[in-house]
Amino acid sequence: MPYESAPRHLVAVDCIIFGFEDGKLKLLIIKRKVAPMEGAWSMVGGFVQEGESTNEAATRVLQQTTGIQDIYMDQLMCYGDVERDSGARVISVAYYALIRISEHDRILANQHGAHWLSLHQIPELIFDHTQMLNDALARLRDKAHFHPIGFELLPEKFSLPQLRNLYEEIYQRPLDKRNFRKKILAMDILEKLDEKDKSTSKKGAHLYRFDKKKYNALTQHGLVFEI
Protein backbone atom coordinates (compact mmCIF):
# COMPACT_ATOMS: atom_id res chain seq x y z
CA MET A 1 0.00 0.00 0.00
CA PRO A 2 1.52 3.39 -0.97
CA TYR A 3 2.10 5.90 1.81
CA GLU A 4 -0.41 8.46 0.51
CA SER A 5 -3.30 6.01 0.72
CA ALA A 6 -2.34 4.56 4.12
CA PRO A 7 -4.63 5.32 7.12
CA ARG A 8 -3.74 8.36 9.22
CA HIS A 9 -3.66 8.13 13.02
CA LEU A 10 -2.84 10.55 15.82
CA VAL A 11 0.17 9.73 17.99
CA ALA A 12 0.37 10.89 21.60
CA VAL A 13 2.64 10.46 24.60
CA ASP A 14 1.41 9.92 28.14
CA CYS A 15 3.72 10.34 31.13
CA ILE A 16 3.24 8.43 34.37
CA ILE A 17 5.17 10.68 36.76
CA PHE A 18 6.12 9.30 40.18
CA GLY A 19 7.44 11.27 43.14
CA PHE A 20 8.09 10.57 46.83
CA GLU A 21 6.97 12.93 49.58
CA ASP A 22 5.93 12.68 53.25
CA GLY A 23 6.74 8.96 53.20
CA LYS A 24 4.35 8.28 50.30
CA LEU A 25 4.88 7.30 46.68
CA LYS A 26 2.85 9.80 44.67
CA LEU A 27 1.55 10.28 41.14
CA LEU A 28 1.26 13.58 39.27
CA ILE A 29 -2.10 13.82 37.49
CA ILE A 30 -4.03 16.66 35.88
CA LYS A 31 -7.60 17.78 35.27
CA ARG A 32 -8.16 17.38 31.53
CA LYS A 33 -8.83 20.73 29.82
CA VAL A 34 -10.22 19.53 26.48
CA ALA A 35 -13.08 17.35 25.27
CA PRO A 36 -13.81 14.52 25.39
CA MET A 37 -13.97 14.03 29.17
CA GLU A 38 -13.02 17.60 29.97
CA GLY A 39 -12.47 18.01 33.72
CA ALA A 40 -11.71 14.32 34.30
CA TRP A 41 -8.45 13.14 35.86
CA SER A 42 -5.70 12.22 33.42
CA MET A 43 -2.02 11.47 33.08
CA VAL A 44 0.17 14.29 31.82
CA GLY A 45 0.46 14.00 28.05
CA GLY A 46 0.11 15.51 24.61
CA PHE A 47 0.38 14.87 20.88
CA VAL A 48 3.69 14.27 19.13
CA GLN A 49 4.50 17.29 16.97
CA GLU A 50 5.94 17.41 13.45
CA GLY A 51 9.68 16.74 13.43
CA GLU A 52 9.57 15.40 17.00
CA SER A 53 10.35 11.88 18.21
CA THR A 54 8.23 10.29 20.91
CA ASN A 55 11.16 10.62 23.35
CA GLU A 56 11.45 14.34 22.54
CA ALA A 57 7.69 14.78 22.94
CA ALA A 58 7.71 13.10 26.36
CA THR A 59 10.70 15.22 27.45
CA ARG A 60 8.89 18.37 26.32
CA VAL A 61 5.68 17.44 28.15
CA LEU A 62 7.60 16.69 31.36
CA GLN A 63 9.54 19.96 31.21
CA GLN A 64 6.43 22.02 30.49
CA THR A 65 4.63 20.50 33.47
CA THR A 66 7.40 20.25 36.08
CA GLY A 67 10.01 22.77 34.96
CA ILE A 68 12.73 20.10 35.16
CA GLN A 69 14.86 19.08 32.17
CA ASP A 70 17.05 16.27 33.44
CA ILE A 71 14.47 13.68 34.52
CA TYR A 72 14.79 9.90 34.80
CA MET A 73 12.44 8.64 32.10
CA ASP A 74 11.92 5.28 30.44
CA GLN A 75 9.53 4.12 27.74
CA LEU A 76 6.83 1.85 29.14
CA MET A 77 4.83 0.48 26.20
CA CYS A 78 2.49 1.41 23.37
CA TYR A 79 -1.29 1.54 23.84
CA GLY A 80 -3.20 1.16 20.60
CA ASP A 81 -6.64 -0.34 21.17
CA VAL A 82 -8.92 0.96 18.44
CA GLU A 83 -11.43 2.55 20.81
CA ARG A 84 -9.10 3.55 23.63
CA ASP A 85 -9.74 7.30 23.04
CA SER A 86 -13.33 8.36 22.42
CA GLY A 87 -12.21 11.53 20.63
CA ALA A 88 -10.28 10.01 17.72
CA ARG A 89 -8.06 7.11 16.69
CA VAL A 90 -5.09 7.83 18.95
CA ILE A 91 -2.07 5.62 19.54
CA SER A 92 -0.23 6.52 22.73
CA VAL A 93 3.37 5.76 23.67
CA ALA A 94 3.59 5.80 27.47
CA TYR A 95 6.63 6.72 29.56
CA TYR A 96 7.19 6.57 33.29
CA ALA A 97 9.32 9.18 35.00
CA LEU A 98 10.84 9.61 38.47
CA ILE A 99 11.39 13.06 39.92
CA ARG A 100 12.33 14.64 43.22
CA ILE A 101 9.18 16.52 44.18
CA SER A 102 11.18 19.14 46.09
CA GLU A 103 12.99 20.13 42.88
CA HIS A 104 10.04 20.60 40.55
CA ASP A 105 8.17 23.85 40.02
CA ARG A 106 4.88 23.51 41.90
CA ILE A 107 3.63 26.85 40.56
CA LEU A 108 4.19 25.65 37.02
CA ALA A 109 2.44 22.36 37.79
CA ASN A 110 -0.50 24.26 39.28
CA GLN A 111 -0.82 26.25 36.06
CA HIS A 112 -1.42 22.94 34.29
CA GLY A 113 -3.93 21.86 36.94
CA ALA A 114 -1.55 19.16 38.14
CA HIS A 115 -1.77 17.57 41.59
CA TRP A 116 0.40 15.11 43.53
CA LEU A 117 -1.70 12.31 44.99
CA SER A 118 -0.64 9.20 46.90
CA LEU A 119 -1.43 5.85 45.31
CA HIS A 120 -4.34 5.35 47.73
CA GLN A 121 -5.90 8.66 46.63
CA ILE A 122 -5.94 8.10 42.87
CA PRO A 123 -9.42 8.77 41.45
CA GLU A 124 -10.92 7.25 38.31
CA LEU A 125 -8.73 8.12 35.33
CA ILE A 126 -9.70 8.65 31.71
CA PHE A 127 -9.50 6.09 28.93
CA ASP A 128 -6.88 3.39 29.68
CA HIS A 129 -4.79 5.51 32.06
CA THR A 130 -5.49 3.25 35.05
CA GLN A 131 -3.99 0.38 33.06
CA MET A 132 -1.00 2.59 32.27
CA LEU A 133 -0.54 3.27 35.99
CA ASN A 134 -0.73 -0.43 36.87
CA ASP A 135 1.75 -1.31 34.13
CA ALA A 136 4.11 1.48 35.23
CA LEU A 137 3.99 0.32 38.87
CA ALA A 138 4.81 -3.23 37.81
CA ARG A 139 7.74 -1.97 35.72
CA LEU A 140 8.95 0.29 38.54
CA ARG A 141 8.96 -2.62 41.00
CA ASP A 142 10.85 -4.88 38.61
CA LYS A 143 13.39 -2.16 37.81
CA ALA A 144 13.86 -1.06 41.44
CA HIS A 145 14.59 -4.63 42.50
CA PHE A 146 17.77 -4.84 40.43
CA HIS A 147 18.73 -1.21 39.69
CA PRO A 148 19.25 1.77 42.03
CA ILE A 149 16.56 3.91 40.40
CA GLY A 150 14.92 4.50 43.79
CA PHE A 151 17.55 7.14 44.49
CA GLU A 152 16.01 9.24 41.69
CA LEU A 153 13.03 9.81 44.01
CA LEU A 154 14.94 10.76 47.16
CA PRO A 155 16.60 14.06 48.05
CA GLU A 156 20.38 14.11 47.68
CA LYS A 157 20.75 13.47 51.42
CA PHE A 158 18.55 10.83 53.05
CA SER A 159 18.41 8.52 56.04
CA LEU A 160 18.22 4.73 55.91
CA PRO A 161 14.68 4.80 57.36
CA GLN A 162 13.68 7.13 54.51
CA LEU A 163 15.26 4.79 51.98
CA ARG A 164 13.52 1.75 53.45
CA ASN A 165 10.22 3.63 53.56
CA LEU A 166 10.59 4.43 49.86
CA TYR A 167 11.07 0.79 48.91
CA GLU A 168 8.17 -0.22 51.12
CA GLU A 169 6.02 2.24 49.17
CA ILE A 170 7.29 0.94 45.83
CA TYR A 171 6.64 -2.69 46.79
CA GLN A 172 3.55 -1.87 48.88
CA ARG A 173 4.69 -4.19 51.66
CA PRO A 174 6.81 -3.89 54.83
CA LEU A 175 10.53 -4.72 54.73
CA ASP A 176 12.53 -6.11 57.64
CA LYS A 177 14.43 -3.16 59.14
CA ARG A 178 17.57 -5.08 60.11
CA ASN A 179 17.87 -7.09 56.90
CA PHE A 180 17.32 -4.04 54.74
CA ARG A 181 20.01 -2.05 56.56
CA LYS A 182 22.47 -4.95 56.36
CA LYS A 183 21.87 -5.55 52.66
CA ILE A 184 22.10 -1.92 51.53
CA LEU A 185 25.21 -1.15 53.61
CA ALA A 186 26.94 -4.33 52.42
CA MET A 187 26.81 -3.02 48.84
CA ASP A 188 29.09 -0.15 49.90
CA ILE A 189 27.43 2.35 47.54
CA LEU A 190 26.35 4.91 50.16
CA GLU A 191 28.44 7.75 51.55
CA LYS A 192 27.77 8.32 55.25
CA LEU A 193 27.61 12.04 56.08
CA ASP A 194 28.39 13.93 59.27
CA GLU A 195 24.79 15.06 59.46
CA LYS A 196 21.65 13.69 61.06
CA ASP A 197 17.94 13.86 60.39
CA LYS A 198 16.31 14.76 63.70
CA SER A 199 12.80 15.23 62.36
CA THR A 200 11.54 12.00 63.92
CA SER A 201 13.67 11.67 67.09
CA LYS A 202 16.07 13.60 69.32
CA LYS A 203 18.84 11.10 68.64
CA GLY A 204 18.35 11.43 64.91
CA ALA A 205 19.33 9.19 62.03
CA HIS A 206 22.54 9.55 60.05
CA LEU A 207 22.20 10.96 56.55
CA TYR A 208 23.68 9.25 53.50
CA ARG A 209 24.33 10.08 49.87
CA PHE A 210 24.19 7.66 46.94
CA ASP A 211 27.65 7.39 45.34
CA LYS A 212 26.82 6.85 41.68
CA LYS A 213 30.44 6.83 40.50
CA LYS A 214 31.37 4.19 43.05
CA TYR A 215 28.32 2.13 42.14
CA ASN A 216 29.23 2.22 38.44
CA ALA A 217 32.80 1.18 39.25
CA LEU A 218 31.66 -1.67 41.49
CA THR A 219 29.28 -3.02 38.85
CA GLN A 220 32.30 -3.41 36.57
CA HIS A 221 33.67 -5.81 39.18
CA GLY A 222 30.50 -7.87 39.51
CA LEU A 223 28.37 -5.98 42.03
CA VAL A 224 24.70 -6.94 41.69
CA PHE A 225 22.19 -4.45 43.08
CA GLU A 226 19.24 -6.29 44.60
CA ILE A 227 16.66 -5.12 47.14
| pLDDT tens per residue, range 144-165 | 999 999 999 999 999 999 999 9
Does residue 72 lie in a domain region? Answer: yes
Which pLDDT score is estimated for 106?
Answer: 77
Same domain, 134 and 196: no
The pLDDT score that the predictor gives to residue 159 is 95
| Range name among 20-34, 66-80, 97-111, 169-183 with the lowest pLDDT average | 97-111
Q: What is the pLDDT of residue 211?
A: 96
Q: Do 47 and 75 have their domain in common? A: yes
Q: Give this prediction's pTM.
A: 0.93
Is 20's pLDDT higher than 70? yes
Of 148, 178, 203, the position where a domain reaches its end is 148
β-pair partners for 22: none
How big is the CA angle at 66 (ends 62 and 72), to the nearest 5 degrees?
Answer: 55
Model pLDDT, residue 1: 64
Is 18 in the same domain as 128?
yes
Say whether both 106 and 197 belong to one domain. Answer: no
* Number of Cβ atoms within 10 Å of the Cβ of 124: 8
Give the residue from 97, 124, 148 where a domain finishes. 148
Please check whether residue 62 lies inside any domain of the structure.
yes
DSSP state of 76: E
Residues 160 and 143 in one domain: no
For residues 92 and 6, the model is more confident at 92
Are both 106 and 29 inside the same structural domain?
yes
> Is the same domain home to 89 and 185?
no
CB of 105 closer than 8 Å to CB of 66: yes
Distance CA 220, CA 75 (A): 26
Q: How many domains does the chain have?
A: 2
Domain CATH for 79: 3.90.79.10
Q: Which domain holds residue 200?
A: 156-219
User: Are residues 74 and 39 part of one domain?
Assistant: yes
Domain boundary among 123, 148, 173: 148
**What is the DSSP code (8-state) at residue 125?**
B
Distances, alpha carbon 135 to alpha carbons 89, 132, 140, 153, in Å: 22, 5, 9, 19
